[in-house]
A and B are shown apart, each in its own frame.
Chain A
Amino acid sequence: MITVKELTKRYARNTAVDHISFNIEKGQIVGFLGPNGAGKTTTMRMLTCFMPPTAGSATIAGFDVLEEPMEVKKRIGYLPETPPVYPEMRTGEYLEFVGRLKGLSKADLSKRVDYVCERCSVADVRQKLISKLSKGYRQRIGLAQAIIHNPDVLILDEPTAGLDPKQINETRDLIKSLAGDHTIILSTHILPEVEQTCEQVIIINKGKVVATDSVHNLQNRARGIESVIVEVAGRNADLDAAEVQAQLEKVSGVIKVHFKEKRQTRSIFEVEGSNDRLIRGDLARAIVAAGWDLNELRSSAMSLEEIFLQLTGDHPATAAAKEEPAAKEPGK
């Protein structure tokens, strides 16, 4: 449904989007994830024909954004970063205006306005001036205008920004329910959002795609290294943290031990080990054998958040996480 090839956008000084390529199938929800300034908005603006790419191409539903922008525009609903609302209009008037703009016929117009008001829970402010509404309501109106013409493709730039927790959940459910008929790209920095709503995730950083995969795979992939939190206490005397660390490092399968903190007599460590060897049992035995108490031993499953930080930042585990999947690939 959406094919992006080597898409590039250069501004006067910097390259905001640098040769990114991806492919999105019909009916999927794809999360576009990246830190501030990664180039999410810029990419979306090129997909919606707001600005042309410097190089590369993008096609939506088979239409090229440069060659046939009109056809592309007919098929997309777009929610920009700031909801494009006119404060001097009433909610209902505004949605009717957008509906007309998108080419809805007179007969469909009022039906669609009713429908999107209901869907995006803005029915109660239909007669109100948009200038008098809160940010959250404007955001919802923005979402309502994006779906008013029932487009094939929805491009949503941070659709849940500024909403309250209840609304965030409702919006995510709404987005999920729209998938299937619609192909959806949404950008966000909120990781649980991607975990909850999206099937695919594209992580970009500094204008480059650093990972494209399904959410499920990405989580598994990061679990290639298992990270375990261990809390050890001395039975009688104080513990020597360095000694414990040395002991733990001897356990087979352990890659690295970080000393995290010391609380009175207890010391907490984060142990990284490879996934295929069950290091947790060995760790427990080693600690008990040394005559210490094992207070806690739990797996810290990698959240998407950690993956995200690994891939986009200089997290200590970055190198390991990047090597691991590559090493595992041939074995599959």
Chain B
Amino acid sequence: MRNVLIIWRKEMHSYFVSPVAYLLLAMFGFIFGFFFWVQLEGFVKYGAEMMQRGQSFPMNVNESLIRPLLANVRVTGLFFIPLITMRLFAEEKRSGTIELLTTSPIRDLEVILGKWFAAVTLYACILLLTALNFVFVFKYGQPDWKPLAIGYLGLLLQAGAMLAIGTFISSLTKNQIIAGAVTFAVCLLLWVFEWVTEFETSTWAQVLSYMSITTHAESFTKGLLSLKDAVYYVSAIFVGLFLTARSMESLRWRS
């Protein structure tokens, strides 16, 4: 545990000392700010129209404002996750510092966990930044906080799974760009696998659909805590980290 913390600290340090973390935070903040503004504007306009037509204010803040916003965060995350994980192992392999890590009395798994936790922490910081926007909503409306919290939990779980996949891919190459591009491609594929169910109902389509990240995001975005989907994310995290461990091991046998 101590070793995991040592690696975590080192990774956090390099995220925050280089402008990477600030750049990601700023970009995400800006993009989300834009979403928020557009969504809020639309929400207010639509609400006003409804009122003119003599209908009472039937819209639910959670349904009409928060849910689409969380869906937007989910999609934006897809673009940011490769940027967070691409350097994790690729950079150590390129610069030779991997030799320091693998010849120190620390287990591979501790290195992997430290790095993955750091990536998750950075992503959590980004989510926290978006959550600040919702403070306004709470000030002027009366949203239900529970679905919002569950929505965020879903976002974090989903990011955890994709970050684990990204960590694995980063351990396969010395080249950050390749790591980032492949991570993006893989995450995107996992994202769209679900589409096959629109025209196919065979078993393999269902398997693909089960593998798809999107399938499992729905309930969380709706504010429903779904054990089944949580299990999916947690197992995806396990698979990602397990593959990273195998890859670190084979790196030694091959290199």
Contact = CB atoms under 8 A, between A and B. Distances in A.
Interface of A: 45, 48-52, 70, 73-74, 76, 78, 80-82, 84-89, 93, 97-98, 100-103, 145
B96 A52 contact: no
A51 B10 CA distance: 24
A89 B13 contact: yes
B198 interface: no
Closest 10 CB pairs of A and B: A84-B100, A73-B105, A84-B97, A82-B96, A48-B103, A80-B99, A74-B105, A101-B104, A100-B6, A51-B252
Interface in B37-67: none
A76 B96 contact: no
B155 to A, nearest CB: 29
Instruction: Determine chain B's interface SS by DSSP, over half rule.
Output: helix
Interface string B9-40: 11001100110000000000000000000000
A49 B10 CA distance: 23
Contact of B252 (A52, A80, A81): A52
B103 A76 contact: yes
A49 B97 contact: no
A270 B35 CA distance: 86
B104 A51 contact: no
Contacts of B14: 86, 88-89
Which of A48, A88, A102 has most B Cβ within 10 Å?
A88
B250 to A, nearest CB: 11
Contacts of B100: 78, 80, 84, 98, 101, 145
A49 B102 contact: yes
B225 to A, nearest CB: 38
Contacts of A89: 13-14, 17
B253 to A, nearest CB: 7
Contacts of B255: 51
Interface in B66-102: 95-102
A300 to B, nearest CB: 41
A80 B96 contact: yes
A48 B255 CA distance: 14
A97 B3 CA distance: 11
B106 interface: yes
A51 B6 contact: no
A48 B252 CA distance: 12
A101 B96 contact: no
A50 B96 CA distance: 11
B90 to A, nearest CB: 14
Contacts of A45: 99
B97 A85 contact: yes
Nearest to A73: B105
A89 B10 CA distance: 9
A2 to B, nearest CB: 15
B105 A70 contact: yes
B99 A84 contact: yes
Nearest to A75: B105
Contacts of B96: 80-82, 84
A139 B98 CA distance: 17
B105 A102 contact: yes
A314 B201 CA distance: 73
Nearest to A49: B103
Contacts of B13: 88-89, 93
A88 B105 contact: no
A9 B177 CA distance: 31
Contact of A50 (B3, B6, B103): B103
A101 B98 CA distance: 13
A78 B105 contact: no
Nearest to B91: A86
B17 A78 contact: no
Which of A45, A84, A97, A98 has most B Cβ within 10 Å?
A84
Which of A74, A86, A93 has most B Cβ within 10 Å?
A86
Contact of B103 (A73, A82, A100, A103): A73
A70 B17 CA distance: 31
A86 B103 CA distance: 16
A87 B10 CA distance: 12
17 contacts: A45-B99, A48-B103, A50-B252, A52-B253, A74-B105, A80-B96, A82-B96, A84-B98, A84-B99, A88-B14, A88-B18, A89-B13, A98-B100, A101-B3, A101-B100, A101-B105, A102-B105
